[in-house]
Structure 1
Amino acid sequence: MQRAYIENNDIKIFEEYLAKVKRLGFEEIDVADSLGRITYEAVFAVKCDPMFNASAMDGIVVVAEKTHGANDQTPLTLKKGRDFEYINTGYEIPSKYNSVIMIEYVQKIDEDTIQIVTPSHPWQHIRVKGESIAEGEMVLPSMHKIRPQDISALLASGNGKIKVYKRPKIGIIPTGNEMVSDVKDLVNGKLMESNSHMFAALSKELGAIPTRYKIVNDDKTELKALLKKAVKENDIVIINAGSSAGTKDYSREVIESLGEVFAHGFAIKPGKPTILATIDGKQVFGIPGYPVSANVAFNLFVKPVLLKLGANKDTYKPQFVKARLTKNIVSSFKNIDYVRVSLGFVNDTLVATPISGGASRIMSLVECDGLITVPRTLEGFLANDMVDVELFKSLEEIKSRVVVIGSHDLIVNILGDNMPLVSSHVGSLGGIMTLLKNECHLAPIHLLDEETGVYNIPFIKKYFKGQKMALIKGVGRTQGLMLKKGNPKNIKSVKDLARDNVTFANRQRGAGTRLLFDYQLKNNNIKTDEIKGYEKEFTTHLAVGVAVENDIADVGMGVRSVAMNMGLDFIKIANEEYSFLTYADNLNDERIKKFIDTLKDEKVKEKILSLGDYTIDGIGDVEIIDC
């Protein structure tokens, strides 16, 4: 069924596509190699287990009827060969005997003589033939995923070989002139091709056999030749990238030249330009190139097909929890929106914070704790709404973490490597607003009051009137101008930023660095519209440094430690304190106690100092502020 480009299909039509998928046939393999495979048919016992009457204990074999009357007062004396024989666990019971007495209850008199004080009964401590598995008994049903214990039962029942469904072979074709397959080839203008590795890993988790092909340039002839080869060699094929509307997006055109496109475009975000097709009866997918879109499309469309091909059952049972949303989520009736969130428990309430960044930000997949699905019937959710979140991490792990939202600094990464911590970078004022709403435990801040020139305290007293607050001392650091190595624009001070040939990388509104920069502009009588690039905002010091390093900007405001680590020049503007704000009552929270202890840890201090340009005098000290 050929469709017009680009559609907005309801995801429900995928069921029609999936219904046409046929399971693969079987192969016979060694039982010892069958872990995780799916049984093609029911498996029956070829042999009994055990195949004979076997001793279940180390001891002696006797005739039970001849042991009656034995007790502590009148021990029964037995002679080896006449009345008993020694036997070990698993050994066959001689036909003349019908009971086993454990060695612990046998008193040895000499090499051939023993005494017992407890009588036995028939078949005591004996595994009778077929007790565990009887010949002809079903050991495993069909369509069963083989577990370690199943392998043991299969072998015990005399099965050395087993018929299992074939594992689906999936071919993965990455595309794009700008892509490279080796990190050594990463230079300006080139991107690392990593999606194929993600697809391969996801496929292996589902029991499939992935083949990653070489990167195909944006060339129709080259793509068509490789696609024909991949279809021949695999049961299912993915073309990654080239499914959208770019001038060099050839996936649909090439697929249609070899087969049939079932659908192109779905009412989902991210992942809209996904292609479903068939070539020679095999399923072929065009998957968007952005990592988040690729991940979503794979799980929605490719995963169910792989599971069905291999007769595999999806054992993943999503766990949903209710959480309070910290920000508005704006959606559209056009799409189902899949929104990645970080989670934290604050005052015994689970809060969900949407993770910023679009479909290209692969770290959002790494950072996310859960997923909110916004149906097409809604235009989003409002802050403070209670929403359903699909969990990707355990509630125990989430409960153990301290939630840190506010200003960015490299030391937060160090702290997060040494204790359970989740962070979000929204700027100092953003952190204060989040703390006011009880949506975080700690707000990192470094706010300069323009009127007094004092850091942090004026803002704390302004926003937390009537509250008792605690300011946990962090680090001293240097703010200044980060410049490309060699300072090619010969920038000497903030005044030079007003020149027409200078482009600035700014921080977001509410960031302490942004307030400091505005304070510097005011002191130098420079208007914001005189600064080229003032409107372009970056959310971290690292992002500003990258912008300068890659000629997106000539200069940006940031901390010296980032400049040093990135090899940038630096002009000092001010010294400041980067500290952590919380409610005084939170000092009793075990997570906050752990946070303070981590700040004071000698190894953590060493790591902080190794970044350069930090001072740690009084780090972890607490100042109580009555507002």
Structure 2
Amino acid sequence: MIPVEEAQRRILDRIRPLEPATMRFDEALGFVLAEDIHAAENMPPFAAAAKDGFAVVASDTSRVRRLVGEQMAGTVSGPRVEPGTVVRITTGAPIPPGADAVVMVERTEEQNGRVIIHQETIEPGADIRPPGQDIQKGQLVLKQGTRLGPAEIGLLATIGCTSVKVYRRPTVAVLSTGDELVEPDESPGPGQIRDSNRYTLAAAVAEAGGIPLILGLSRDVETTLEELMLQGLEQADALLTSGGVSMGDKDLVKPILERLGTVHFGRVYTKPGKPVTFATVNGKPVFAMPGFPVSSLVSFEIFVRPALRRMQGYPERDLFRPERKVILEHDVHHTADRTEFQRAIVTYRDGQFYARTTGFQGSGRLLSMVGANALLRLPHGEGNFKRGDLVSALVIGDIF
């Protein structure tokens, strides 16, 4: 067995971002940039009014000035501004020739074609956005590794960058194994249970930014299982299985992986998820999760999710869930032989994060994950924890 951190390192050492693809900027929401983006021009590209008002000559001391025209946004039509005159102007409109300041409309009064200025002094450049105030030509506006959200999409539109290079999202083939499993819409017979892992893991893949490809359900027949695994490896960028990784006669996934490729580890000092396995087959990663539902989902969070994010081009700092120090609200039982990830609810109050577990932490009790927004990281080598102790928590949901 190896420590959790060593298992994570072995995975990430063998994972690289997928090859980039070029797509329209407005179709790239949620993708990660594979290139730096620089501005091709100043923004704004011209001196523009920051407020509605009147364009004036700042050095002109006349209190009453003649209105000689108007300058609206989207056109260039205003006459030249001379001392003793003003031009009506709207927010975003180009500053007309001769003007070097804008007086906001609230500080003026208009009477019979003339404008009275109710402002003692006017500074040159007042309420004018100079060219390049927001973005300068050649400026780096988005770095490689940036996830494109609504603000980033809008920024691309602003600078006229309509085509971007982004990393592909990984397609992940998802396969459940086990003679005891039936479909969710079937009534289980004696000794059978409904398969939840396939759908749980597919949803986790999608939440992590991947594209799940559900292969179906394999019985514990070596030839059938191997055929489905090879199908998944052919059709997808990665393979994700559940079940068949323990020590029983019908735990066939590890022997198949040893024959097809290289198994980099098959047991980890972690709870839940000790038999979690990672292999590569023809350069493609294979993640073999334990069969218990909680073991499967927690193992995905700890080992698979960071790998999928690296495949999408996320930088190192964004691969893992954020961690917070939390104060335990009750005693927590923990054996020191493995690093344990207990499901918990973390709340924030009085400037501190507090955590309580979701109850019984059995590996088969998927209900312990429902509503959980954190995984308490209880380290290998330490025993039970007391109420009030400070521990680390991986944040997997919103904290209120």
Asked if the contact 1:323/1:387 (under 8 Å) is kept, the reply is yes
Unaligned runs of 5+ in 1: 1-7, 398-627
Larger RCO of the pair (alpha carbons < 8 Å, separation 6+): 2
Please show how residues 206-285 of structure 1 align to structure 2 within 5 Å: 206-285=208-287
Say if 1:324 and 1:387, in contact at 8 Å, map to a contact too.
Answer: no
TM-score (norm 2): 0.83
- Residue 318 of structure 1 aligns with an amino acid whose one-letter code is E
**Counterparts of 1:308-457 in structure 2 under 5 Å?**
308-312=310-314, 313-314=318-319, 316-323=321-328, 325-326=330-331, 329=333, 331=335, 333=337, 335-340=338-343, 352=356, 355-356=359-360, 358-366=362-370, 368=372, 371-378=375-382, 380-381=383-384, 386=389, 388=391, 390=393
The C-alpha deviation readout for 1:546-596, integer Å capped at 9, x for no partner, is xxxxxxxxxxxxxxxxxxxxxxxxxxxxxxxxxxxxxxxxxxxxxxxxxxx
Match of 1:122, as an amino acid?
P
CA distance in 1, matches of 2:227, 2:18: 25
Q: Which amino acid aligns with 2:325?
A: F
Q: How does 1:547-558 map to 2 (within 5 A)?
A: none
SS in 2 for 1:215: strand
Summarize the Cα distance change of 1:28–1:11 in structure 2 as closer, same or farther, 3 Å threshold. same
The offset of 1:278, in angstroms, is: 0.4
Partner of 1:136: 138
Question: Cα–Cα, structure 1 residues 38 and 370, in superposed 2: closer, same or farther, change >3 Å?
Answer: closer
Cα offset, 1:135, TM superposition: 1.4
In 2, Cα distance between the equivalents of 1:121 and 1:134?
Answer: 24
| Paired amino acid for 1:163 | K
Q: Structure 1 counterpart of 2:278, which letter? A: L
Q: Distance in 1 between matches of 2:93 and 2:122?
A: 19
Determine the C-alpha separation between the residues in 2 that align with 1:298 and 1:237. Answer: 12
Structure with bigger helix share is 1
Rounded to whole Å, the distance in 1 between the matches of 2:282 and 2:144 is: 29
> Is the contact made by 1:32 and 1:151 (CA closer than 8 Å) also made in structure 2?
yes
In 2: Cα distance, 1:394 partner to 1:308 partner:
20
- Secondary structure at 2:370 match in 1: helix
Residues 100/251 of structure 1: CA separation in 2 closer, same or farther (3 Å cut): same
Equivalent residue number for residue 116 of structure 1: 117
Read off the aligned partner of 1:224 and give its amino acid letter.
Answer: E
- The higher radius of gyration belongs to 1
Q: Is the 8 A contact 1:204 1:210 kept in 2?
A: yes
Q: CA deviation at 1:200?
A: 2.4
For residues 372 and 130 of structure 1, the distance between their equivalents in structure 2, rounded to whole angstroms, comes to 48
Return closer, same or farther for 1:383/1:159 CA change in 2, 3 Å cut-off: closer
Whether the 8 Å CA contact 1:370–1:389 is kept in 2: the answer is: no
Deviations 1:411-442 (A, max 9, x none): xxxxxxxxxxxxxxxxxxxxxxxxxxxxxxxx
Contact 2:327/2:353, CA 8 A, preserved across alignment: no
Match of 1:23 in 2: 17
Tell whether the 8 Å contact from 1:58 to 1:87 is kept in structure 2 after alignment.
yes
Pairing 1:9–2:13 present: no
Separation (CA, whole Å) in 1 of partners of 2:171 and 2:50: 46
The CA RMSD measured in Å over matched residues stands at 3.1
Runs of 5+ in structure 2 lacking a partner? Answer: 70-78
C-alpha separation between the residues in 2 aligned to 1:79 and 1:342?
66
SS at structure 2 position matched to 1:228:
helix
Counterpart residue type for residue 6 of structure 2:
I
- Provide Cα deviations, 1:530-553, integer angstroms capped at 9, x if missing partner: xxxxxxxxxxxxxxxxxxxxxxxx
Which amino acid in the other structure matches residue 49 of structure 1?
M
Partner of 1:63: 57
What letter is aligned with 1:336? T
Distance in 2, matches of 1:21 and 1:205, equals 19
Q: Per-residue deviation at 1:343?
A: 7.8
